[in-house]
Structure 1
Amino acid sequence: MSAAIDNLPPLREVIARHELAARKSLGQNFLLDLNLTRKIARAAMPWMGPAVVEIGPGPGGLTRALLLEGAPRVIAIERDERCLAALSELAAAAEGRLKLHPGDAMETDIAELTPPPWQIVANLPYNIATPLILGWLKRVECFTRITVLVQKEVAERLAAAPGSKSYGRLSVAAQWRCRARMLFDIGPKAFVPPPKVTSTLVELEPREKPLAEADPAKLEKITAAAFNQRRKMLRAALKPLWPDSDAKLTLAGIDPTRRAETLSIEEFCALARLL
């Protein structure tokens, strides 16, 4: 089965034959080096659940790697109709292990494609990476693992610890429900066309239960208020939520003069429980 995939034409030839010039409007930066795509696939192992879901496969570089590294079944969601012919050739070589879904990942319910649990592995388009991840975090109990290549700045925000300049709303949302880990960087020259920034492979592994008890909507409301004015003391940043913010913070055991980036996720949860 791998032999049929190995015998496919090189990706650069596929791109030229199908005239697949990357489109900036779709956030496309193709990763063609099979050594790198196989490194990503191996980092995502072991394979868990009925299928691996890939977002934005483009000409199929990472898709090939997932299949070559033994992913039992890959579901590839691609909105660019130009890429579907190239991906169909790969699907034929994969002999039933690759299912193509034409459509926008932002509007696709994975549950309609395959039952949970899901494993995501993808080189995410920069322009939709954060909203996609935030959407997945809201139903993280349906996932086994999320391994995605994103802009390094986004990876740093996902994995940031309290007290760092990257720590913010995305850090709290991700780490409340997942263990976030940055795996390795890939420089701009590896992509076609080269982006202006470095990319980082990041892993989100769902926790068995959240770090602390909190209602998701209330936690989001607290972190939004706190980080929207991150340079201000919490007593001022949380005034729109609580006119008596000093008393609420004190009740939660938090010094009102602290700033948002110093709070642990557990402390944010304590404030969410007071809403």
Structure 2
Amino acid sequence: MALPPADDLPPLRAVVEAHGLAPRKALGQNFLFDLNLTAKIARSAGPLDGFTVFEIGPGPGGLTRALLAQGAERVIAVERDPRCLPILSEISARYPGRLEVVEGDALETDLAARARGTPAKIVANLPYNVGTQLLINWLTANPDAPFWTSMTLMFQKEVGQRIVAAPGSNHYGRLGVLAGWLTRSEILFDVPPQAFTPPPKVTSSVVQLTPLAERLACDLDRLERVTHAAFGQRRKMLRQSLKPLGGEALLDRVGIDPTRRAETLSVAEFCALAQAL
């Protein structure tokens, strides 16, 4: 059953046609016109009242409209494509004082500074070409006191599987260790290619991450060194892949069998190796 319109703005397709806006592959743009789907993503982020909500790459603003209709007190949308700004301006006029549009590259935008100490959530259909790097930036910006209380993000399904992967999985790697150390993560639902314009060649997944209230003691730089070495040669035994970091001597200090491979180690074991460096 179709949901009623979130607002009295024109349908997205009509807005895009009126502004002559076509998705650009170079910007990783795939527009979502289904307002039922954007509303589902906004609802998945949980209560938005009282939060600053960051959105990356809003494009024509389908998800932006859903976030505002869902009750977000303030939405800060970071958009690098100047062609989208007039459309976002129309949405801002519909929701006075609640939408701030930042023209710029999200990779170079300090979201924590813009949150100004208020509780924040990140909700976005991330551009495929920078999604993983953006996530890593937000995870590692301040692990001890993240500025965000949750992230509800859309990635290629393969990336989503890497984020939530458990030891022993083919998808388990550096990203899964980092996310597992800092957050509780889960895939909420998949989005088929035909939901987008233009349709990508892959299925997408909406992933939610929330910071762990308590996490294992670990130094980020050393953890990255260990996982880089271990998964850089994931088919080899740890005594070989970790040789530049001490090899069997390092593994013996932690009590890990040197014949094991990287994908079998838990997050706790990786943290122990990092602390033993």
Question: What TM-score, normalized by structure 2, do the two folds share?
Answer: 0.94
Partner of 1:131: 133
The aligned residue for residue 177 of structure 2 is: 172
Task: State the secondary structure of the residue aligned to 1:64.
Answer: helix
Partner of 2:97: 96
Where do 5+ consecutive residues of structure 2 fail to align?
none
Q: What do residues 206-258 of structure 1 show as CA deviations (whole Å, max 9, x unaligned)?
A: 01132x2110000010000000000000000001111xx21221220100000
Q: Deviations for 1:133-155, whole angstroms, at most 9, x for unmatched residues?
A: 00000124211000001100010
Looking at structure 1, the residues matched to 51 and 149 of structure 2 have their Cα atoms a distance apart, in angstroms, of 10
Partner secondary structure for residue 113 of structure 1: helix
Kindly provide the amino acid, as one letter, of the partner of residue 9 in structure 2. L
Partner of 2:205: 200
2-structure distance, mates of 1:51, 1:261: 37
Counterpart residue number, 1:157: 162
Match of 1:9 in 2: 10
Secondary structure of the residue aligned to 1:65 is helix
SS in 2 for 1:176: helix
Distance in 1 separating the partners of 2:120 and 2:35: 24
| Contact kept in structure 2, 1:59 and 1:87, CA below 8 Å | yes
Mapping for residues 1-275 of structure 1, pairs under 5 Å: 6-47=7-48, 50-116=51-117, 117-138=119-140, 139-140=142-143, 141-210=146-215, 212-242=216-246, 245-275=247-277
* Contact 1:226/1:237 (8 A) holds in 2: yes
Measure, in 2, the Cα distance between the counterparts of 1:224 and 1:93.
48
Q: Quick one: distance in 1 between partners of 2:245 and 2:233?
A: 13
Alignment RMSD (CA, Å)? 1.4
1-side partners of 2:183 and 2:125: how far apart?
A: 20
1:33 Cα offset (Å) = 0.2
Asked if the contact 1:4–1:93 (Cα under 8 Å) also holds between the matched residues in 2, the reply is no
Q: Residues 217 and 271 of structure 2 are in contact (CA less than 8 Å); yes or no, is this contact kept in structure 1? A: yes
Instruction: Please tell me the residue identity of whatever aligns with 1:159.
Output: V
In the alignment, the residues of structure 2 paired with residue 208 and residue 188 of structure 1 have an alpha-carbon distance, to the nearest angstrom, of 35
Q: TM-score, normalised by structure 1?
A: 0.95
How far does residue 197 in structure 1 lie from its aligned partner after superposition? 0.3
Distance 1:4 1:188 in 2: 23
Q: Distance in 1 between matches of 2:265 and 2:48?
A: 35
Aligned positions, number: 270
Aligned equivalents of 2:112, 2:230: Cα separation in 1? 34
**Contact map agreement 2:112 2:147 (CA 8 A) in 1:** no
Give the letter aligned to residue 269 of structure 1. Answer: C
Letter in 1 for 2:32: L
1:35/1:124 CA distance change after superposition, 3 Å:
same
- Name the amino acid aligned to 2:167: P
Partner secondary structure for residue 222 of structure 2: helix
Return the letter of the residue paired with 1:197.
V
> Shift of residue 180 of structure 1?
0.8
Runs of at least 4 residues off by over 3 Å:
none
